[in-house]
Amino acid sequence: MKIFIGMNNVASLIGDYTEGFKNLGHEVFSVTRTDHVFTSNNVDLNIPVLVKGKMKRENNFSPQVQEKWTKFYNEMAWQKALEADVVFFLWSSFMEDCSDLPLLKKMGKKIIVRFVGSEVRYPPFEREFCKWGGLPYGDNNLSENIDSFKKKLNYIRMVELFADVVIGSSTLSLRPSFTNGFGLFFKRDIPQRTVHNEIPIIMHAPSKRLTKGTNDWLVVFDALRANGFKFGLKFLEEIPHEQMLREYSTADIFCNSLIYSGRTAMEAMAAGCVVLDVGYKYRNKKDFKYNLRAFGITETQENIDNFFEKGGFEYLFHAPTIKVNYENVVQKLAEIILDLPRRRELAQKSIEYIDRLSPKNTCVEIFQAMDAPDSFNTAIKSYWSPFLTRHYDATNTTMEYKKIFNTYTKMVKKCTWYKRYIQNCERGGLFF
């Protein structure tokens, strides 16, 4: 089977999925339209790198030349997608309005989409979600205007309408996320730390300071030092990905994010670091009662536990990291600095945990969901969030936003998953 995967290599995920599909014997062609110093560039078609190379050879760095070669390589990528049996998008599809999705569907392509991050985050909904889940809100640099809202909502609903498998979710999501397609990690060549120092080395390496809570981490480090705690500190930024993979093993403790988790946490775990990461309070077993209702299953604690275990949620949501938030981070970091035996224990558990995140096994699960998207087996490995229909406070949402929201909701009302999970209701002018 031929698989096309693109378009943005966020968190080196394209390489992870490519590894899994190739291990299953499939032919994969990978493309990225973005190139970051902190992600792996091991793709077949790295458009920005190729465009820069063409401009350098022509000694012409004008916008016109850049546009010419960008268009050339995008057309090349499109031809590869047309040759594929399966098209897998991360962050975006080819067209900004997603008009390529119905076209690919009509041509008989299977479509997989993974939501990754801020491409599906809209601040007012994010803030409400964080308030509900007891999380800090960190994306203060995202646009808040009607055009941004419409663009993101269009992307989400078009994906929900046309994709065979949706991995990941947004606070604007209505469709369940196939959670078993989410947890994978291709280790590459990451040296492992085998000995932990009594006086630990702490590392923080933000890809973006704002979304990793860097300024707050610096306050935490200063507070601990002021109270006599001894530790070394490595603060790394803009390190090339291959070099960064070698850096993790030089640290005992890795302080990831106080706002959003991410790939660096898994890379640090693979190296044998103890990882401090944001704690997701909202991922609670009690939320899964709504998933049971969709199938008419009695909401007993036994059934909730069974659903949680069979779907792999216990495993995916409870990595052996130290869960921190703004209220407890100073205490948690102080405790682990002083507790060398626990650091050694968590380091070993972290390595074992990462070893289980097989790209091959994850891609097997994705294919099973792709072949039977509406099956019970797929459903028990998916998670539907009750946030929008049961928790979102629409009091401050303007009529213009509500009208747009309701228009896009109508797009997906006839879908099988919609009828299964969502009861007809109205919340402050939002109609479901």
Share of the chain above pLDDT 90, in %: 56
Label residue 331 exposed, middle or buried (CB < 10 Å: 0-12, 13-18, 19+): exposed
How far is Cα 419 from Cα 91, in angstroms, rounded to an integer? 27
Distances (CA, A) of 187 to 35, 220, 282, 399, 432: 20, 30, 29, 48, 42
Choose the weakest-confidence range: 278-282, 300-304, 357-361, 373-377: 278-282
> Long-range CB contacts (< 8 A, 24+ apart) of 227-233?
227/334, 229/334, 229/337, 229/338, 230/199, 230/337, 231/199, 231/200, 231/201, 231/202, 231/337, 232/199, 232/200, 232/201, 232/202, 233/201, 233/202, 233/203, 233/204
426 domain-assigned: yes
- CA quadruple 392, 383, 273, 21: dihedral, nearest 10: -130
Average pLDDT over residues 147-151: 95
In this model, does residue 388 exceed pLDDT 80? yes
Where does 227-374 have alpha helices with state H? 241-247, 263-270, 289-293, 301-310, 313-317, 329-338, 340-355, 359-371
Percentage of the residues of the chain whose pLDDT score is greater than 70: 92
Question: Has residue 75 been placed in a domain?
Answer: yes
Q: Provide the sign of the torsion angle of the four alpha carbons 227, 229, 232, 238, taken in this order.
A: negative
pLDDT bucket at 283, cuts 50 / 70 / 90: low
The pLDDT of 172-189, averaged and rounded, is 84
Q: Which residue has the higher pLDDT, 42 or 415?
A: 415
First and final C-alpha spacing in the chain = 38
* Residues 313 and 293: beta-carbon distance below 8 Å: no
Please say if the pLDDT value at position 282 is more than 50: no
In whole angstroms, give the CA distance from residue 196 to residue 271: 12
Task: Report the pLDDT averaged over residues 289-304.
Answer: 77
Asked if residue 137 lies in contact with residue 126, where contact means CB atoms within 8 angstroms, the answer is: yes
Q: Are residues 15 and 164 part of one domain?
A: yes
Pair (345, 399) in one structural domain: no
Question: Is residue 177 included in any domain, yes or no?
Answer: yes
Confidence bin at 333 (pLDDT 50/70/90): very high
Mean pLDDT of the 283-293 span: 69
CB atoms within 10 A of CB 124: 16
Residues 114-136, mean pLDDT to the nearest whole number:
85
Quote the tokens at residue 398.
């303007």
Q: Do 37 and 113 fall within a single domain?
A: yes
pLDDT for position 286 = 66
- Is residue 370 assigned to a domain? no
Q: Is 336 exposed, middle or buried (0-12, 13-18, 19+ CB in 10 A)?
A: buried
- Same domain? For 75 and 118 the reply is yes
Tell how strand 430-431 and strand 426-427 pair up. antiparallel
Q: Is the pLDDT of residue 200 over 60?
A: yes
- CA separation for the pair 432, 163 (Å, rounded): 21
Indicate whether 28 and 71 sit together in one domain.
yes
Q: Burial level of 25, CB count in 10 A (0-12/13-18/19+)?
A: exposed
Does residue 223 share a domain with residue 181? no
Q: Look over the chain and give the mean of its residue pLDDT values, rounded to a whole number.
A: 88
Count structural domains, the chain: 2
Longest dimension (CA), the chain: 69
In a domain, 335, yes or no: yes
Residues 6+ apart with CB under 8 A from 108: none
Of 20-34, 39-53, 136-150, 262-276, where does mean pLDDT reach its minimum? 136-150
- 188 pLDDT band, cuts 50/70/90, is confident
Residue 344 structure tokens: 């050694």
Q: Does one domain contain both 21 and 76?
A: yes
For tokens 């569907």, what's the residue? 105
Confidence class for position 315, pLDDT limits 50, 70, 90: low
Query: Which residue has better confidence, 188 or 362?
Result: 362
CA–chain centroid gap for 220, Å, is 26
CB 37 within 8 A of CB 238: yes
Supply the CATH number for residue 223's domain.
3.40.50.2000
- pTM comes to 0.85
pLDDT of 136: 65
pLDDT for 297 = 79
pLDDT of 56 over the 60 cut: yes
Q: Are residues 103 and 181 in the same domain?
A: yes
Asked whether 129 and 68 are in contact (CB, 8 A), the reply is no
Query: What is the span of the domain harbouring residue 266?
Result: 201-279+325-356
* Four-residue CA torsion sign, 257, 358, 26, 179: negative
Over range 45-65, report the average pLDDT: 93
Q: Degrees (nearest 5) of the Cα angle 87, 90, 91?
A: 135
Please report where in the chains the tokens 């964080």 appear, as a residue. Answer: 130
pLDDT (mean) for 56-69: 93
DSSP string, 349-392: HHHHHHHT--HHHHHHHHHHHHH-TTSHHHHTTEE---IIIII-
User: Which whole number is the average pLDDT over 138-145?
Assistant: 76
Lowest mean pLDDT among 77-86, 89-98, 134-143: 134-143
Averaged pLDDT for residues 313-319: 68
Per-residue confidence (pLDDT) for residue 183, from 0 to 100: 76
CB 160 within 8 A of CB 174: yes
190 located within any domain: no
Q: Do 341 and 426 have their domain in common?
A: no
Among 187-196, 233-242, 397-406, the minimum mean pLDDT is found in 187-196
Phi, psi of 298 (to 5 degrees): -60, 135
Which tops the pLDDT comparison, 387 or 313?
A: 387
* 270 and 165 co-located in one domain: no
Integer Cα distance of 265 and 169 in angstroms: 20
**Are both 26 and 59 inside the same structural domain?**
yes
| Predicted pLDDT at 211 | 67
Q: Does residue 224 sit in the same domain as residue 174? A: no
306 in a domain, yes or no? no
Mean pLDDT throughout 16-23?
94
| Lowest-confidence pick of 312-316, 353-357, 419-423 | 312-316
**Count of alpha carbons within 13 angstroms of residue 148, beta-carbon side:** 13
Asked, for residue 362, whether it belongs to a domain, the answer is no
Q: Copy the structure tokens of residue 270.
A: 């693979």
